[in-house]
């Protein structure tokens, strides 16, 4: 029997009343965690009459989680915990997240809801190309694939030749992959003379795990002849599956019966106008082992107003537009690395990887963007190469509002990380 | 003899400004016993184009591509030019008279019977006009198969 999910059809009113009930339960559960005992003092479940009343509750930050390591936020006896994950630690010390058996099941339901919304069925062969282990990307999707009834291939990340071999041999129709790695796979297919459009059967791709642009998704779609759906999550909430893009590809539906979303101005911590970008702040509604209240994700996105053609009334958020903490200030201008990516992906002569280097010769900020020239774009003509470099420079200038230097490199010369791509080298502080 | 017999195949390589990159090109060719007969480098602050005349250009392209370089090939004319003051100037004058633009040029290390061998990159569209004017001026173009054996 095909797996199904009733919560996807909840109306706005139903979602609100579900959230009020679950938020009250969450407060009661969270109190059992040492770190929340004091924070939640004086707050009664009766204070919660609408989802907006979450604003009466205190925030939780990554720093709080670190301070509470290892068990400060654990709200159940350790014997009820069946698994832990450890955050990837991109922004400092890693933190542990605990799960009960029910937490794991509900996590799989969240991801499965997103997969169903993207058209995945038990007929599909699902190749899960995310890292298994402490990182939540692999296991989070694994159990959802099995819940739906896909033949699930726990491929993990890396070993690109074998990944392509698996896709080819077993006719993988659904992938879950980090976007920069998807491009790497296409690159290797190209090198091995494999045409993904004719020789592979991929039709749906879930991407997540690192920030990326719409253009990057379109490139992956064109390369595989598949639809790319964005997936958002973070280990503190569970992992992937907090919000996923449906077949309409017009934003990511938050699983609102599992997570309560706020989008706040990161400075004033007041809600932004609907449609305005702000920091995603999430409250878990069903998590048992480690309920988190108003967790500040540092991810920037905006709510997409209006109703989604797919019929789901669960609120939609945009893809992540940046981080409150990866924003670069160059020559006094705020720059997100993703703007660079967006500008570069519009230029056919440029390959898939780039590295941003910031330095400060003569006390002036300098931003240098190293890009890879594609094989086809190489010309035995200095004027053409210089003209290309000038075109890239102008494009970046108009996108970023600051002048930049552009370096041309050979294909394959820049580092490709088969994981989170490191794209920014900031040497400015070292030069003081 | 057709124009294509007269165009020698120049191998060009995109070189990023990274120490050891030029040496790697030369080593890759050396391992395949391909001999470099002439070369020039055009460079900017961060990258350059290495242009090579070798004894086996098709093989050189393959060897360098499989070593991971961005490689192209371009037709150039190898001209015999009297090795004396003013020799090159006279040739350039002839080309100038018919508005042929030389995109770049560089010389072989060796001479043939007292003549220098200079390689010219001419706009493809101007090739026939160039060959005509050279023919009229008695300037010999060395056929490509001879160039590779020089």
- What percent of chain A shows pLDDT beyond 90? 65
Q: In the predicted model, is pLDDT for residue A92 greater than 50? A: no
Q: What distance in Å separates residue A62's CA from the closest CA in chain B?
A: 41
Contacts of A300-306 with CB under 8 Å at 24 or more apart are A300/A266, A300/A324, A301/A232, A301/A263, A301/A277, A302/A263, A302/A272, A302/A275, A302/A276, A302/A277, A302/A278, A303/A261, A303/A263, A303/A274, A303/A275, A304/A250, A304/A251, A304/A275, A305/A274, A305/A275
**Are B23 and B73 a contacting pair, CB within 8 Å?**
no
Q: How far apart are CA A70 and CA A399, in angstroms?
A: 43
Query: How many residues are given for chain A?
Result: 432
Q: How confident is the model at residue A353 (pLDDT cuts 50, 70, 90)?
A: confident
Contact A380 B68 (CB under 8 A): no
- What percent of chain A shows pLDDT beyond 70? 94
Q: Where are the domains of chain B?
A: 5-73, 75-149
**Which of the two residues, A425 and A12, has the higher pLDDT score?**
A12
At the topology level, CATH places domain B75-149 in: Alpha-Beta Plaits (3.30.70)
Instruction: Return mean pLDDT, chain A.
Output: 90
Residue A222: partners with Cβ closer than 8 Å, 6 or more residues away: none
pLDDT at A89: 43
Q: Does A387 touch chain B (CB under 8 A)?
A: no
Closest CA to A145 of A167, A118, A179, A182: A118
Eight-state DSSP code of residue A40: T
Q: Does A385 touch chain B (CB under 8 A)?
A: yes
Residues of B in contact with A413 (CB under 8 A): 16, 18
**Which of the two residues, B139 and A36, has the higher pLDDT score?**
A36
Q: How far apart are CA B147 and CA B77, in angstroms?
A: 10
Residues of B in contact with A378 (CB under 8 A): 14, 70-72
Q: In this complex, how many residue pairs, one in chain A and one in chain B, have their CB atoms less than 8 Å apart?
A: 42
Cis bond leading into A70, ω under 30°?
A: yes
- Report the pLDDT averaged over residues A235-253: 96
Closest CA to A322 of A400, A425, A213: A213
Contact A382 B49 (CB under 8 A): yes
At the topology level, CATH places domain B5-73 in: VC0802-like (3.30.2130)
pLDDT tens per residue across span A279-295: 999 999 999 999 999 99
Q: Provide the ipTM.
A: 0.70
- Report the pLDDT averaged over residues A203-222: 86
Q: How far apart are CA A112 and CA A106, in angstroms?
A: 10
Residues of B in contact with A411 (CB under 8 A): 68, 70
pLDDT at B16: 82
**Which of the two residues, A6 and A380, has the higher pLDDT score?**
A6
Q: Does A378 touch chain B (CB under 8 A)?
A: yes
pLDDT < 50: residue spans in chain B: none
Q: In the predicted model, is pLDDT for residue A236 greater than 70? A: yes
Q: Does B12 touch chain A (CB under 8 A)?
A: yes
Domains along the sequence of chain A with CATH:
1-325 (3.40.50.12780), 328-431 (3.30.300.30)
pLDDT tens per residue across span B99-138: 988 889 998 877 888 788 888 888 888 889 899 989 888 8
CB atoms within 10 A of CB B55: 16
pLDDT at A91: 45
- Return the structure tokens found at A412: 């394959």
Strands of B36-43's sheet, edge to edge? Answer: B36-43, B47-54, B7-16, B71-82, B115-122, B102-112
Q: In the predicted model, is pLDDT for residue A88 greater than 70? A: no
Q: How far apart are CA A13 and CA A155, in angstroms?
A: 41
pLDDT tens per residue across span A119-174: 999 999 999 999 898 889 999 999 999 999 999 999 998 899 999 999 999 999 99
Strand bridging mode B7-16 / B47-54: antiparallel
Contact B16 A386 (CB under 8 A): no
Q: How far apart are CA A189 and CA A167, in angstroms?
A: 11
């Amino acid at each position: 029997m095909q797996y199904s999910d009733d919560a996807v059809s909840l109306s706005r009113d139903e979602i609100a009343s579900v959230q009020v009930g679950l938020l009250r339960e969450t407060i009661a559960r969270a109190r059992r965690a040492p770190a929340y005992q004091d924070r939640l003092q004086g707050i009664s479940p009766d204070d919660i009459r609408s989802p907006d009343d979450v604003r009466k509750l205190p925030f939780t930050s990554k720093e709080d989680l670190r301070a509470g390591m290892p068990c400060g936020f654990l709200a159940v006896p350790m014997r009820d915990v069946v698994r832990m994950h450890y955050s990837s630690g991109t922004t400092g010390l890693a933190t542990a997240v605990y799960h009960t058996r029910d937490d794991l099941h509900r996590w799989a339901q969240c991801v499965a809801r997103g997969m169903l919304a993207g058209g995945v069925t038990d007929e599909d062969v699902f190749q899960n190309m995310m890292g298994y282990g402490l990182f939540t990307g692999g296991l989070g999707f694994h159990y959802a694939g099995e819940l739906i009834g896909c033949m699930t291939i726990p491929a993990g990340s890396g070993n690109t030749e074998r990944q392509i071999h698996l896709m080819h041999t077993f006719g993988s129709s659904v992938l879950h992959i980090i976007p920069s790695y998807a491009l790497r796979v296409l690159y290797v297919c190209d090198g091995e003379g494999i045409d993904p459009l004719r020789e592979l059967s991929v039709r749906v791709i879930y991407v997540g795990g690192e920030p990326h642009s719409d253009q990057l998704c379109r490139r992956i779609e064109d390369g595989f002849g598949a639809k790319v759906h964005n997936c958002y999550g973070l280990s503190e909430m569970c992992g992937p599956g907090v919000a996923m893009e449906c077949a309409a590809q017009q934003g990511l539906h938050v699983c609102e019966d599992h997570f309560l979303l706020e989008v706040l101005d990161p400075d004033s911590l007041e809600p932004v106008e609907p449609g305005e970008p702000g920091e995603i702040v999430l409250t878990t509604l069903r998590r048992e082992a480690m309920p988190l209240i108003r967790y500040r994700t540092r991810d920037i996105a905006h709510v997409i107003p209006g109703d989604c053609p797919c019929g789901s009334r669960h609120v939609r958020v945009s893809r992540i537009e940046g981080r409150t903490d990866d924003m670069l200030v160059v020559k006094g201008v705020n720059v997100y690395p993703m703007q660079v990516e967006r500008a570069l992906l519009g230029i056919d002569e440029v390959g898939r990887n780039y590295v941003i280097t910031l330095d400060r010769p003569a006390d002036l900020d300098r931003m240098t963007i190293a890009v890879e020239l594609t094989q086809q774009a190489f010309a035995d003509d200095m004027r053409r190469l210089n003209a290309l470099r000038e075109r890239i420079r102008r494009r970046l200038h108009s996108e970023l509002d600051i002048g930049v230097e552009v370096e041309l490199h050979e294909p394959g010369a820049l580092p490709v990380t088969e994981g989170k791509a490191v794209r920014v080298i900031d040497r400015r502080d070292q030069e003081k | 003899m057709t124009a294509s017999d007269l165009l020698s195949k120049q191998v060009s390589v995109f070189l990023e400004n990274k120490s050891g990159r030029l040496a790697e090109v030369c080593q890759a060719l050396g391992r395949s016993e391909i001999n470099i007969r002439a070369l020039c480098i055009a460079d900017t602050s961060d990258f350059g184009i290495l242009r090579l005349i070798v004894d086996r250009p098709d093989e050189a392209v393959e060897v360098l591509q499989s070593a991971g370089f961005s490689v192209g090939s371009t037709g150039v004319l190898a001209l015999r030019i009297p090795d004396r003051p003013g020799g090159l100037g006279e040739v350039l004058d002839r080309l100038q008279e018919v508005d042929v633009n030389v995109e770049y040029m560089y010389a072989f290390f060796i001479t043939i019977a007292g003549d220098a061998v200079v390689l010219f990159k001419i706009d493809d569209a101007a090739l026939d006009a160039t060959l005509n004017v050279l023919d009229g001026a008695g300037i010999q173009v060395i056929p490509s198969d001879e160039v590779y054996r020089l």
